[in-house]
Amino acid sequence: MIQIENLSKNYGDVQAVDSISFSLNESEIVGFLGANGAGKSTTLKMITGYLSPSNGNVHVGDKNIIDNCIDIQKMIGYLPELNPLYAEMKVHEYLKFHASIREITGNKFNEALKRVVKECSLQGVVHRTIGNCSKGYKQRIGLAAAMIHDPKILILDEPVTGLDPNQIVEIRSLIKKLGREKLVLMSSHILQEIQATVDRIIIIDKGKIVADGTSEELISSAQGVKQLHLEIKNAEEGSIQDMKATIPQVNIKSIKKDENRFNIDLEYKSGTDPREDIFKHAVSQSWVITEMRVSEKNLEDIFRNLTNTSDEGAPNE
């Protein structure tokens, strides 16, 4: 339904999005992940026509965003990260305002209002002033505005930001219900929420796509590596670093000191087991091992390995 081809966006000398390509299908919920400044919001804004690409194109059906921007925007419902609500308006007035922009008036608006109020569970607040609504209801109102024209495509930028756990569950349930009928593309920093909601995950880092698949596929592709957590006492950081030379199959990912002990995260390839060698090395160094724990990779580990959050100063997401 949507085909992104070699899409790029430059801000002066900074390349926020670097020639990315992927496709999105009907009735699919896709999570778009990336660290701050990775290019998520910039990509979503180009797909919706809010920003013009520096290179490449976005095709929706037989139309492209450069030549048919208005036609494509009619097909899309967009909820930006900063939900653009007018706090002094009543909910039904705000939805009527959005509908009028799209030339939905009279009986067509009454039908559209009934539909989005039901789908977004706004029955209790439809005549309330927006400023008096909770954060959860405000997200629902923004979503209802994005859906007032019954689009087949919904693009949601950080739809659960600032919500409490109960509100997140409510919005997740709504998004999953909408995904049965619409293509939903959503970004989020909350990895557990993405994993619980979407059918497929796309990860972007420094403007490039670095992963694309279901959470099970991404985790399975990384199962060739295992993680080992060590907690030790009576050690020096220099001797911990020397462990790599003694046990070459381990890769030291992090060393953190906590009072009189060190917490060490290691990685090693599946099919090997360095624990006996680590124990012997600890004995030779007079370390006291207070914890040794093996774990498989999860989505958070994969995200951290694929993205690099050390770069600061990107102009926008």
Fold of the domain spanning 2-220: Rossmann fold (3.40.50)
Q: Which CATH architecture has domain 224-296?
A: 2-Layer Sandwich (3.30)
The whole-model pTM stands at 0.75
Rounded distance between C-alpha atoms, residue 207 and residue 92, angstroms: 39
Per the listing, tokens 């939903």 go with 184
Rounded distance between C-alpha atoms, residue 21 and residue 7, angstroms: 7
Give residue 313's pLDDT: 43
Find, among 7, 20, 1, the residue nearest to 202 by Cα: 20
Give residue 311's pLDDT: 45
130-142 burial, b at 16+ Cβ within 10 Å, e below that, comes to: beebeebbbbbbb
Domain boundaries, the chain: 2-220, 224-296
Q: How far from 309 is each of 162, 197, 312, 314, CA to CA, in Å?
A: 21, 24, 8, 11
Contact 189, 41 (CB under 8 A): no
Per the listing, tokens 């990860």 go with 203
Q: Do 2-220 and 224-296 share a fold?
A: no
Contact 232, 289 (CB under 8 A): yes
Give residue 317's pLDDT: 56
Residues of the chain with pLDDT under 50: 310-315
Give residue 171's pLDDT: 85
Give residue 42's pLDDT: 95
